[in-house]
Chains A and B, each alone.
Chain A
Amino acid sequence: MDHFDFGHEIDLCQGFGIMGDLGSTLKDLDSNLSGLVQCSNSSNQDLFKLQGLTRIARALHLYSQICIQSAESREGVANPHREALECSKQIALLTLRHILKILNSTINEGFETSVRPPLDLHEQISALFNRGPVKLDRFQYLYGLLDCASQLGCIVGIEEYPNGFAARMRSIIARSGEASFRLKAVSNSSFLYRDKELFSSNFR
């Protein structure tokens, strides 16, 4: 598998501040993720890549947080790691924006009312004959997007969430006939409502 081969290379190393060009990194990532908005059905490869990007962002975030704490406790210089931390946050934010774009795209409009998981009977038959999980379909793709968003939510601050993200999650919670979508949207929303003031202002 190419490393996040969306068409251009994504230079995560620049985010370490070694080459000092976080802006260029984000610009590359933005243009590559834009291609995902057009995907019309369950694009497995795109979901794998988003999962991979989420994995890297979380690992970079954790690594830089620990390094900053370690440097501060030793009265060392934490600047390179602060740049890496900022990089992880920006990558997470950019990915969240694109996930929101995909969820809001024409092809996925109202998915929460129309998309259903595989039938229980289908899964039972597949399990009985030991055929393994049913193939990834649109439900798994969309659920996977929400799963990536909930993982990235651990990195991004409440005030930095993309505009419209909370509203989209509320829409999914209110309209979805599928419990798993609702529950996933609730887990995404819990990051937004950690702040009581934000919670109360959204429910006035």
Chain B
Amino acid sequence: MIGTPQTPPATARALLAEELLAAIKNSSYDSQTLQEIVLVIDHECLCRESQDRFPNLRRPDDISNRAIATSVIGDFAEQLSSCLVHHINASSRLIRELQFRALLSVLALLQLDGVHAVHADVHRKWQTKINNRFRELIWLPGQSPRLSTETFPRVQCAHLISLGAAYYSQQFVPAEPVAARILAIGSNVMQLVVMVANIALV
């Protein structure tokens, strides 16, 4: 149990969020941990929605205060976009689905917190992580073109990670000028050309 019966609701939620974040960081999580993360984050979304519209309105204490700081939400995004499924078994499909759902909720909460841009390096890192999660999903072993027990979880996870990737790319921009982005793309193209030329020469 987090806190005591006298602990203010917002403090209890903040403590719970930190406990859940620590569980992810320490790799001591299971599907229930991720389910709790989804519930806590969704409740924070509810609090943001009600608070921002009517800041002076009388509301139950449980939803009147923001509990989780933006930095903690950012930490959640960092952890939930990382690889949480290291060993593939029957239970890993549920963990993967819950991870992607939680990531979607966290991104939505960041938006509700007014975050619309992310530091350029962080933006690239998160984008790469999301792309890696998609690649892991596509490269799962034992996938069959015929209908099997793996079909539905795979499609469900593919949908959620696609939604998450689209949401991230459309709602958060990297905090860098357009010229820097063009330069980065140009640099990547040059590297590709050099690589192809090297292969051709060999």
Footprint of B on A, CB under 8 Å? 1, 3, 9, 11-13, 16, 18-19, 44-45, 47-48, 51-52, 55-56, 58-60, 62-63, 67, 80-81, 117, 120, 123-124, 126-127, 130-136, 140, 143-144, 147, 179-180, 183
User: Which one, B42, B49, B152, B170, contacts A180 given CB within 8 A?
Assistant: B152
A16 to B62, CA, bound (A): 13
Ranked nearest first, the 6 interchain pairs of A and B with the lowest CB-CB distance are: A132-B131, A133-B162, A180-B155, A127-B138, A59-B46, A59-B42
The verdict on B86 contacting chain A, using a C-beta distance below 8 Å, is: no
Is B104 close to A, CB under 8 A?
Answer: yes
Identify 20 residue pairs between A and B in the complex whose beta-carbon atoms are under 8 Å apart, listed by A's number: A1-B111, A3-B49, A12-B50, A45-B170, A55-B45, A55-B108, A59-B39, A59-B46, A62-B39, A81-B60, A123-B158, A130-B135, A131-B131, A132-B134, A135-B166, A136-B163, A136-B166, A140-B163, A147-B156, A179-B155
In the complex the two chains form, is B134's CB within 8 Å of A67's CB? Answer: no
Given known A3-B112, A127-B135, A133-B134, contact A12–B152 (CB-CB < 8 A):
no
CA distance A170 to B199 in the complex (A): 55
Q: Which residue from A48, A63, A67, A131 sits with its C-beta under 8 Å from B46?
A: A63
The interface residues of chain A lying within 8 Å CB-to-CB of B53 are 3, 9, 11-13
Known: A58-B42, A59-B46. A183 touches B152 (CB 8 A): yes
CB closest chain-A residue, reference B54:
A13
List A contacts of B147 (CB < 8 A): 179
The size of the chain B interface, using a CB distance under 8 A, is 47
Interface residues of B in 147-175 (CB under 8 A from A): 147, 151-152, 155-156, 158-159, 161-163, 165-167, 170-171
Q: Does B30 contact A (CB under 8 A)?
A: no
A13 to chain B, nearest CB (A): 5
Asked if residues A140 and B159 are in contact (CB atoms below 8 Å), the reply is: yes
Can you list, as one digit per residue, whether each of B120-162 has a CB less than 8 Å from chain A (1) or not (0)?
A: 0000000110111011001100000101000110011011011
> Contacts of A56 on B, CB cut-off 8 Å?
42, 45-46, 49
- B52 in the interface (beta carbon within 8 A): yes
Tell yes or no: B87 within 8 A of A by CB: no
Cα A59 to Cα B13 in complex, Å, equals 14
Contact (Cβ within 8 A) A133 B58: no
User: How far apart sit A80 and B49, CA to CA, in the bound complex (Å)?
Assistant: 18
Taking CB atoms, residues of chain A closer than 8 Å to B139 are: 127
A sample of 11 more A-B contacts (CB under 8 A), given A60-B46, A140-B163, is A1-B112, A3-B112, A51-B108, A59-B42, A130-B135, A132-B127, A132-B131, A133-B134, A133-B162, A147-B156, A180-B151
Q: How far is the CB of B103 from the nearest CB of chain A, in Å?
A: 12
Check: B43 CB closer than 8 A to any chain A CB. yes
User: Are B43 and A63 neighbours in the complex by a CB distance under 8 Å?
Assistant: yes
CB distance from A139 to the nearest CB of B (A): 9
Known contacts A59-B46, A63-B46, A63-B62, A132 near B155 by CB under 8 Å:
no
**In the assembled complex, which residues on chain B have CB atoms less than 8 Å from the CB atom of A59?**
39, 42-43, 45-46
| Neighbour of A120 across the interface among B112, B128, B130, B145, CB < 8 A | B145
